[in-house]
């Protein structure tokens, strides 16, 4: 087949800048072939190379005694004691989900599950953080339905419980929704599988589904802004098959247990190219691939298409050659393809053969080591103007406005479409705060949360970055878990704009400071840039996924508030209303600064909660919507009313950080006050759980009326 | 007491079901769908929830033709006990061991939540641990749980007291609120709710445990 001439237009269509192309010419000393151009474009796009973000990612804290493997592998690995490890990561599938919501979201889930099980872990929990445009934007309803069905369609069939997540709406996502998928798995700490190849002449094996033309160029597409040609990009979205993924999981875990695997890597973005280069590069080896042996499901596929296909449910493995028959038998059992497609070689070469022709012959290590890296110019986000006056408002009216807003109503409509109980180890369903699963066959529990408040990050990237980590810390603490580590999914606009790059730099500084102070190192993550449509960027959205450990089921804070319980507020309230949910949803204002996060206080207050969990029946972190929303949610979940003694707007709706709402009986409340006094933690008695009304000062409303609003809203908007 | 749990490709509640049998005192054999024989001396066979063969074609239709399913049918025809949960129920209707069919949920969406059920009959090895009319709560998680049957079939089920469970609030449009049905000899039960997800205090409810316990009780005295 005649291959296209390398022209300026073709280079630009591959997302390569002229100076990047010059660098290619320098490296190989000749004009690249068409296939080689595709390989460079796949390796050097933003999605795969992190060329704009690498400099800043290096500043994040990634180590700690609990960390077995930090960023750089498919997922982070963290010690949970008893020789076991939790393996987790979060990754975006934003652009594909906007173009084709069901398949985009489904394959986002599939990709993150593979990242986890390629390391030898059985996935035990999933979450997803979703950001959509305004509810009444013409695309939003179909995106919400498609994305939620896609996530459910994949995760439910695969058989992983979806135990948490976030859903938000803001006009800044009208043209660019965000779909961030998290997965965590469980493995023995001494049986983790890595991607570095080792040994010369070892067989390179292709596993899983067959290769088609779907997703060709997907990673390059994900590294570009959108414009009105978006419909033309639909064929670059991959199609998922969770049934194949489930079989691939079982086959891979059997294969790993057999001792046949030297190293293994899933085929994600830029499929065969990225996985083969990754394995060779990490093992300081070359790789030779013979594409005639690649299982294909379409006729006349070219080398270019095979190297760039993003067909799903595929893995690449370096095989222990003495185990070939056993390995093949496992894949035959599960009716999956198993094909030796190449070998490791001593020279630093990435050699691609197809139809007796050399289609690519590149210095393998240079594909990653010589990838461009940019120190993009950035400007710091200017300090926010002072908050102008916020009028007093009837607190019940304000609460009603919040709980009937798409951002703060119940998400039950969403998570009831996800199987959140499969594996029969879920002990805390999604809905409020962290989800919890048992470590199967042990007394241990793992808690999962994902958090970020993009309004804060936009107003003040550094404080907003800190706050995302702090909120995750609080959500884990509120169920009695010790936060272990984090994964970050950094969604931003075009990094070539200094103000966007400034948001990124600020957020990274804040995230880094908070992860260090709260001992939640970043062990994996993903960067998604160019989230813009027609030049308009999204809100900066650095999603933090975090995992916490509860050593024993008895240590979990899992109760609900009961009639007669005291309501205690832990932490200091100053009444910070800047960038609050109240301003955004009730007054339609996004002004003022983000709340300041005092990391020492966060840590002290969190440690206080964990140290005194025996005195606490129910606990919730205070975040968006402040005391009023947390109190309502805690009462609503328990089906008991609440009387709050405070009634002023800043106290009720302020979003000061480092705070928790606690329910406990009178004796426990007294004991908590005493303990707090000893260590200088602020505790305020702010009311009581009682009756069937939510009462704030002299105003009140029946809990049942508020509950109907809260639970019915999402379905009425999107159902 | 011996139970077998079948694993089809795409089954994803097979381990959960095995755990529930074990907790009730069964020794459990895990059996792969390509096997053509069940282990000797079995008391009960469990067909688990999940998405056998990806739910492609129709839920349960391909699994109903797997080699092991022929052995399960033979086991049932010999008077053996079979418990099919969710996808396992779908497989049982596809084999003809149970009447009716499971259609897409009336709301067209996957639904996962605890549901209130009424025990419609206590007259079976699966339900003898409950009382007829007892209200219990067990989770559902399915996209195709809308049980449908013709008038004649429904009259027969009712006349023979073969409706095992009914939904208190129908989550899927099932005819006559049917959540589970028994075979003529009352030894094959198919149900959409997942008793294995309500079998242990950590699940937040234990109403499913009685099913495994009553089976174990019958087997132990048989």
For residue range A177-195, what is the model confidence (pLDDT) as tens digits? 999 999 999 999 999 999 9
Q: What is the mean pLDDT of residues A363-382?
A: 94
**A680 or A270, higher pLDDT:** A680
Given an 8 Å threshold on Cβ–Cβ distance, is A416 in contact with B112?
Answer: yes
Bridge partners of residue A536, in order along the sequence: A533
CB atoms within 10 A of CB A561: 29
- Closest residue by Cα to residue A308 from A222, A199, A369: A222
Q: Identify all chain B residues contacting A416, using CB atoms and an 8 Å cutoff.
A: 111-113
Please name the member of A243, A333, A419 whose beta carbon is closest to the beta carbon of B10.
A243
| Chain A positions in Cβ-Cβ contact with residue B109 (cut-off 8 Å) | 149, 417
CA–CA dist B138, B197 (Å, integer): 7
Buried-state track B27-44, b at ≥16 Cβ within 10 A, e below 16: ebbebebeeeebeeebbb
Which of A451, A469, A426, A398 is CA-nearest to residue A631?
A398
Compute the average pLDDT of residues A116-121: 97
Q: Give B82-114 pLDDT, tens digit per residue.
A: 999 999 999 999 999 999 999 999 999 999 999
Nearest to A157 among B51, B111, B139 (CB): B51
- Taking the Cβ of residue B12 and every Cβ of chain A, the question of whether any pair is shorter than 8 Å is answered with yes
Nearest to residue A327, comparing CAs of A316, A338, A342, A313? Answer: A338
CB–CB contact B9 A422 (8 Å): no
Closest residue on chain B to A246 (Cα):
B10
B184 is catalytic: no
d(CA B119, CA B127): 8
Burial track A67-99 (b if 16+ CB lie within 10 A, e otherwise): bbbbbebbbbbbbbeeebbbbbbbbbbbbbbbb
Residues in chain A: 719
Q: In B, which residues are within 8 Å of A426 by CB distance? A: 203
Angle between helices A703-718 and A626-638 (to 10 degrees): 100
Answer whether A157 sits within 8 Å of B12, measured CB to CB: yes
A639, two tokens = 């089906």
B122 touches chain A (CB under 8 A): no
Contacts of B31 in chain A (CB under 8 A): none
pLDDT surpasses 60 at A234 = no
- Give the E-state strand segments of A329-453 in sequence order: 337-345, 350-354, 357-362, 426-428, 435-438, 445-451
**Nearest CB to A424: which of B32, B54, B197?**
B197
Q: How many interchain CB pairs under 8 A, A with B?
A: 85
Q: Is the pLDDT of residue A383 over 90?
A: yes
Q: What is the pLDDT of residue A226?
A: 58
> CB distance A157–B113 less than 8 Å?
no
The answer to whether the CB atoms of B54 and A419 lie below 8 A apart is no
What pLDDT sits at residue A237? 74
- Quote the tokens at residue A179: 């779909």
- Contact in structure between B182 and B170 (CB atoms under 8 Å): no
Decide if pLDDT at B43 tops 90.
yes
Give which of B14, B59, B109 to mutate to test A binding, by max A Cβ within 10 Å.
B109
CB of B33 within 8 Å of a chain A CB? The answer is no
Domain that holds residue B84: 2-221
Separation between Cα atoms, residue A152 and residue A419, nearest integer Å = 7
Does the distance separating the beta carbons of B112 and A421 come in below 8 Å?
yes
ipTM score for this prediction? 0.97
Is A241's CB within 8 Å of B54's CB? yes
Q: How confident is the model at residue A268 (pLDDT cuts 50, 70, 90)?
A: confident
Would the CB atoms of A153 and B113 count as touching at under 8 Å? no
Q: How would residue A238 be classed by pLDDT, with cut points 50, 70 and 90?
A: confident
The pLDDT assigned to A216 comes to 78
Collect all residues of chain B within an 8 Å Cβ-Cβ radius of residue A333. Answer: 32, 34
List the structure tokens of B167. Answer: 């939904």
Predicted confidence (pLDDT) at residue A233 exceeds the cutoff of 60: no
Percent of chain A clearing pLDDT 70 (strictly above)? 97
Chain A residues lying within 8 Å of B16, measured CB to CB:
422-424
Nearest CA distance, B172 vs chain A (angstrom): 13
Q: What is the CATH number of the domain that holds B217?
A: 3.40.50.880
Average predicted confidence (pLDDT) for chain A: 95
Judge: B112–A424 Cβ closer than 8 Å, yes or no. Answer: no
The shortest CB-CB distance from A422 to any of B9, B13, B19 is to B13
What span, in angstroms and rounded, lies between the C-alpha atoms of A384 and A416? 39
Phi, psi of A127 (to 5 degrees): -140, 170
Between chains, do A159 and B113 touch, taking CB under 8 Å as contact? no
Kindly tell me the burial class for residue A341, based on how many C-beta atoms sit within 10 Å of its own C-beta (0-12, 13-18, 19 or more).
Answer: buried
Contact B45, B81 (CB under 8 A): yes
Total structural domains in chain B?
Answer: 1
Look at residue B200 and give its three-state secondary structure: strand
Residue A266: pLDDT above 70? Answer: yes
pLDDT of residue A4: 85
pLDDT cut 70: percent of chain B above it:
100
Per-residue pLDDT at A235 exceeds 70? no
A42-55 confidence digits (pLDDT tens)? 999 888 889 999 99
A93 is catalytic: yes
Nearest CA in chain B to A245: B10
Lowest-confidence segment of A70-84, A205-219, A312-326, A391-405 by average pLDDT: A205-219
Residues of B in contact with A161 (CB under 8 A): none
Query: If you write DSSP's letter for every residue of A441-468 in order, what string do you get?
Result: TSS-EEEEEEE--HHHHHH-HHHHHHHH
Q: What is the CA radius of gyration of chain B?
A: 15
Spatial distance between the Cα atoms of A111 and A266, rounded to a whole number of angstroms:
8
For residues A412-428, average pLDDT: 97
For residue B16, give the nearest of A246, A423, A553 by CB distance: A423
pLDDT at A231: 54
Predicted model pTM = 0.96
How close A340 gets to chain B, by Cα (Å)?
Answer: 24
Mean pLDDT, range A358-385, rounded to an integer: 95
Q: Is the dihedral of CA A9, A15, A17, A22 positive or negative?
A: negative
- Give pLDDT tens digits for A491-545: 999 999 999 999 999 999 999 999 999 999 999 999 999 999 888 999 999 999 9
Report the DSSP pairing between strands B188-191 and A178-188.
Answer: unpaired
Lowest mean pLDDT: which of A2-6, A218-222, A276-280?
A: A218-222
**Contact yes or no for A243 and B9 at CB 8 A:** yes
Structure tokens given for A350: 């990435």
Strand partners, B137: B116
């Amino acid at each position: 087949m005649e291959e296209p001439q390398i022209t300026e237009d073709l280079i630009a269509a591959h997302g390569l800048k002229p100076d990047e192309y010059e660098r290619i010419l320098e490296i190989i000393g000749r004009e690249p072939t068409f296939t080689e151009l595709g390989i460079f474009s796949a390796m050097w796009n933003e999605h795969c190379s992190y060329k704009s973000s690498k400099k800043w990612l290096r500043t994040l804290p990634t180590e700690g005694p609990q960390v077995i493997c930090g960023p750089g592998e498919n997922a982070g690995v963290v010690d949970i004691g008893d020789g076991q490890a939790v393996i987790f990561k979060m990754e975006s599938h934003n652009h594909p989900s906007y173009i084709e919501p069901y398949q985009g979201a489904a394959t986002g889930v599939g990709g993150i599950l593979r990242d986890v099980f390629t390391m030898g872990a059985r996935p035990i929990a999933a979450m997803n953080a979703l950001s959509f445009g305004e509810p009444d934007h013409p695309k939003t309803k179909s995106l919400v339905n498609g994305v939620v069905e896609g996530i459910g369609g994949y995760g439910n069939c695969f058989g992983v419980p979806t135990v948490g997540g976030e859903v938000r709406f803001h006009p800044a996502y009208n043209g660019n929704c965000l779909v961030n998928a998290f997965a965590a798995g469980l493995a023995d700490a001494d049986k983790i599988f890595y991607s570095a190849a080792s040994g010369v002449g070892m067989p390179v094996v292709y596993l899983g589904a067959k290769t088609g033309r779907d997703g060709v160029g997907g990673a390059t597409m994900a590294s570009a802004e959108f414009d009105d040609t978006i419909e033309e990009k639909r064929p670059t979205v991959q199609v998922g098959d969770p049934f194949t993924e489930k079989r691939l999981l079982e086959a891979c875990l059997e294969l790993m247990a057999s001792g046949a695997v030297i190293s293994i890597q899933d085929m994600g973005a830029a499929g065969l190219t990225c996985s083969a280069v990754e394995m060779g590069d990490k093992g300081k080896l070359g790789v030779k691939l013979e594409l005639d042996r690649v299982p294909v499901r379409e006729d006349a596929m070219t080398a270019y298409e095979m190297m760039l296909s993003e067909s799903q449910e595929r893995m690449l493995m370096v095989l222990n050659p003495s185990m070939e028959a056993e390995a093949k038998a496992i894949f035959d059992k599960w009716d999956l393809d198993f094909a030796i497609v190449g070998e490791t070689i001593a020279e630093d070469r990435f050699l691609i053969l197809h139809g007796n022709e050399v289609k690519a012959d590149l210095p393998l290590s240079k594909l990653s080591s010589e990838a461009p890296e940019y120190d993009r110019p950035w400007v710091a986000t200017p300090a926010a103007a002072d908050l102008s006056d916020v009028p007093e408002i009837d607190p019940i009216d304000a609460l009603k406005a919040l709980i009937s807003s798409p951002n703060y109503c119940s998400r039950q409509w969403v998570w009831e479409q996800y199987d959140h109980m499969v594996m029969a180890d879920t002990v805390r369903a999604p809905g409020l705060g962290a989800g919890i699963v048992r470590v199967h066959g042990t007394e241990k529990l793992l808690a999962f949360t994902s958090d970020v408040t993009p309004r804060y990050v936009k107003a003040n990237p550094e404080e907003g970055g800190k706050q995302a980590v702090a909120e995750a810390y609080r959500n884990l603490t509120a169920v009695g878990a010790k936060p272990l580590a984090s994964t970050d999914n950094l969604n931003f606009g075009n990094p070539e704009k200094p103000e966007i790059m400034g948001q990124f730099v600020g957020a990274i500084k804040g995230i880094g400071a908070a992860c260090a102070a709260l001992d939640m190192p970043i062990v994996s993550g993903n960067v998604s840039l160019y989230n813009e449509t027609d030049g308009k960027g999204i809100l900066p959205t650095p999603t933090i996924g975090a995992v916490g450990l509860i050593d024993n089921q008895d240590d979990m804070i899992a109760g609900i508030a009961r009639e007669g319980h005291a309501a205690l507020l832990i932490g200091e309230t100053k009444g910070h209303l800047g960038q609050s949910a109240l301003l955004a949803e009730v007054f339609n204002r996004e002004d003022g600064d983000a709340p300041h996060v005092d990391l020492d206080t966060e840590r002290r207050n969190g440690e206080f909660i964990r140290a005194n969990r025996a005195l606490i029946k129910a606990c919730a972190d205070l975040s968006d919507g402040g005391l009023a929303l947390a109190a309502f949610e805690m009462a609503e979940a328990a089906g008991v009313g609440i009387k709050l003694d405070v009634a002023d707007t800043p106290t009720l709706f302020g979003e000061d950080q480092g705070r928790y709402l606690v329910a406990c009986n009178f004796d426990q409340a007294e004991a908590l006050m005493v303990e707090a006094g000893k260590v200088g933690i602020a505790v305020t008695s702010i009311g009581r759980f009682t009756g069937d009304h939510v009462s704030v000062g002299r105003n009140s409303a029946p809990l049942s009326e508020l509950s109907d609003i809260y639970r019915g809203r999402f379905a009425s908007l999107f159902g | 007491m011996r139970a077998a749990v079948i694993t089809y490709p795409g089954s994803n509640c097979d381990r959960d079901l095995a755990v529930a049998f074990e907790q009730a005192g069964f020794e459990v054999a895990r059996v792969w769908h390509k096997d053509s024989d069940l282990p000797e001396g079995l008391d009960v066979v469990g067909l688990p929830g999940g998405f056998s063969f990806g739910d492609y074609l129709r839920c349960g239709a391909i699994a109903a033709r797997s080699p092991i399913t022929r052995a399960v049918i033979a086991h049932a025809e010999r008077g053996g006990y079979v418990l099919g949960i969710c996808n396992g129920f779908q497989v049982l209707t596809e084999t003809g061991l149970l009447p009716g069919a499971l259609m897409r949920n009336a709301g067209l969406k996957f639904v996962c939540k605890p549901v209130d059920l009424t025990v419609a009959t206590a007259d079976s090895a699966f339900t003898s641990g409950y009382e007829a009319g007892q209200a219990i709560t067990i989770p559902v998680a399915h996209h195709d749980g809308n049980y449908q049957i013709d008038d004649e079939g429904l009259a027969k089920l009712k006349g023979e007291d073969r409706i095992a469970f009914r939904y208190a609030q129908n989550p899927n449009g099932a005819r006559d609120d049917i959540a589970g049905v028994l075979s003529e000899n009352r030894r094959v039960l198919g149900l959409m709710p997942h008793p294995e997800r309500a079998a242990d205090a950590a699940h937040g409810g234990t109403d499913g445990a009685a099913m495994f316990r009553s089976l174990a009780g019958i087997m132990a005295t048989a």
